[in-house]
Amino acid sequence: MVRDKIEIRWHGRGGQGAVTGATLLAQAAFIEGYKGVTAAPFFGAERRGAPIIATNRFGPRPIRTFSLVTQPDVVIVLDESLLNIVDVSAGLKSDGLILINTTKNPEEFEFSNNFNVATSDAFHCAIKADLVVAGNVIFNTTILGGFARATGLISMESIEQAFESYFKGTAAEKNIHGARLAYDCTKVLKPCTLQCA
């Protein structure tokens, strides 16, 4: 369905990079040609491991709304364990998409009966791309490859350009490699129908 803007809600844990992921997605959306883009974090208890939310909005016209996204078109779940404590599908539009960082297939999730689901093993793609810093696997960027594949709303080329403007040298190369791996391994329950005009 055609929207005047796309609204995205990220679910992650403190330290997993949901806020940085949302920032990079906003940059990629701008590169893609969207004129209005936003990225905003929403914190509860600010500590490593606590559930956090970040949001994006993008569309063809300027966007002046920065409030919490309550009726998302797309939900990105960085940590599958959050499914046991957070209703990630809350407010999701009927033709919306849930993208989950997991090794499972889309049809293995109960809400696949009601919503479109995509799965991407962003964690292991990050390991393959050597995106490990001080023992921490950095998969918030690789999941963007899954977003490109699952939604078709932003191209891999725009995501790669966003990485090149944010990271330098080897870091940019590793993040691009990880996102490409995630793009290739992403599985989608059914084709995404979301469009923005």
Average pLDDT, the chain: 94
Q: Average the pLDDT over 45-73 and give the result.
A: 87
- Cα separation, 133 vs 81, in Å, equals 22
DSSP conformation letters of 170-197: HHHHHHHHHHHHHHHH-EESS----EE-
Q: Give the tens place of pLDDT for each residue, 132-179.
A: 999 999 999 999 999 999 999 999 999 999 999 999 999 999 999 999
Specify whether the backbone of 155 is left (phi greater than 0), alpha (psi in -120 to 50) or beta.
beta
Over the stretch 39-54, which tens digit does the pLDDT of each residue have? 998 866 556 778 899 9
- The owner of tokens 């970040």 is 54
- Closest among 119, 67, 115 to 87, alpha carbons compared: 115
Angle at the Cα of 31 from the Cα atoms of 116 and 61, rounded to 5 degrees = 75
Q: Where are the domains of the chain?
A: 2-186
Fold observed for domain 2-186: Pyruvate-ferredoxin Oxidoreductase; domain 3 (3.40.920)
| Per-residue confidence (pLDDT) for residue 112, from 0 to 100 | 85
The reported pTM is 0.95
CB 144 within 8 A of CB 161: no
Q: How confident is the model at residue 63 (pLDDT cuts 50, 70, 90)?
A: very high
